[in-house]
Amino acid sequence: MPLEIYNLSKTYRNDRSGGTVQALADVSLTIPGGMYGLLGPNGAGKSTLMRILATLQEPDAGRIQLGNIDVINQKDEVRKTLGYLPQEFGVYPKARAEDLLDYFAVLKGFSQRKSRNEVVEALLRKTNLWDVRKQKLGGYSGGMRQRFGVAVALLGNPKLLIVDEPTAGLDPAERVRFLNLLSELGENSVVILSTHIVEDVSELCTNMAIINKGRILLEAQPLQAVSMLKGKIWRKLIEKNALQELTRTHQVISTRLLSGRTLVHVQSSHTPGSGFEQVEPDLEDVYFSTMVGNNNIEYTPKQDSKP
């Protein structure tokens, strides 16, 4: 059941300035089954898009199809097959995980206690929370709370699962556990992973898009996007005071402080000069190259053919 997004736009009123802010500008995407990464900096429009897909906000213009379902005009139908884990997932700290998940299951329509108990147990086991099911949520770690959020989102076996910035603030071990869980879920559903962490997309997603300032800059398969930069990424360790001059003469796509000096990545089809070393590109290079408008990967948004 693919998700098709056509020419989606959303504008907010800026109460401070009296003007408007364009959160989404003519966004069109094709999202197939499996893990799909939506990558962009904070404020790029990711959360606005996620809330619209989750039927929590209305776009100003555009159309969304989930299989045969019109997402904007058939919200109840969408919600029957939707799982949503927002960036800020609140829990009741004094409630036990098992009890709260049972409560959410009742709200989801599981009225028979026997079948509800089976669903609750299966989801707690799937998210590796069964052994701590009687603990209060206030005592859970950040990763455990995120996994509980996934358990809630999976009630009803959704065909569309949306997770917004799920690994922000998790320690490395919890992040790995959480990403492994999402990878398993992507085998049977459309799972949209919205994040600003390049590694999350690189490790999980077979398809992705990069968004910034409400516009889609790139829609691609990560491996293909990386291969298109092969032979074009160079690095050099320079003094910090040499960076400004280097940016005037070379296409610098990223910089990083290293032992008091600056490690720069430059995109060039030939040797940029003395001291540069050619390196194998990765998705981070694709991301920064795209953000500075220098990736040479053509993106042509599809047009809505509906009359």
Q: Are residues 92 and 238 in the same domain?
A: no
In a domain, 286, yes or no: no
**At which of 223, 258, 290 does a domain end?**
223
In a domain, 74, yes or no: yes
Q: How many domains does the chain have?
A: 2
In a domain, 172, yes or no: yes
In a domain, 300, yes or no: no
**At which of 223, 246, 267 does a domain end?**
223
Per-position DSSP letters for 33-95, written without gaps between them: SEEEEEE--TTSSHHHHHHHHTTSS--SEEEEEETTEETTT-HHHHHHTEEEE-SS----TTS
The pLDDT score that the predictor gives to residue 14 is 78
In a domain, 262, yes or no: yes
Q: Are residues 95 and 243 in the same domain?
A: no
The pLDDT score that the predictor gives to residue 186 is 77
The pLDDT score that the predictor gives to residue 299 is 41
Convert the pLDDT of each residue in 13-59 to its tens digit. 877 777 888 999 999 999 998 999 999 998 899 999 999 999 999 99
- Structural domain including 205 reads 3-223
Q: Are residues 270 and 182 in the same domain?
A: no
The pLDDT score that the predictor gives to residue 71 is 96
Question: How would you write 93-109 as a 3-class SS string?
Answer: CCCEHHHHHHHHHHHCC
CATH number at residue 216: 3.40.50.300
Residues of the chain with pLDDT under 50: 297-302, 307
Residue type, 145: R
Q: Are residues 250 and 183 in the same domain?
A: no
The pLDDT score that the predictor gives to residue 301 is 47
Q: Are residues 238 and 166 in the same domain?
A: no
pTM of this prediction exceeds 0.75 = yes
Q: Are residues 95 and 22 in the same domain?
A: yes
260 DSSP 8-state letter: T
The pLDDT score that the predictor gives to residue 50 is 93
Q: Are residues 172 and 258 in the same domain?
A: no
Q: Are residues 213 and 235 in the same domain?
A: no
Q: Are residues 100 and 137 in the same domain?
A: yes
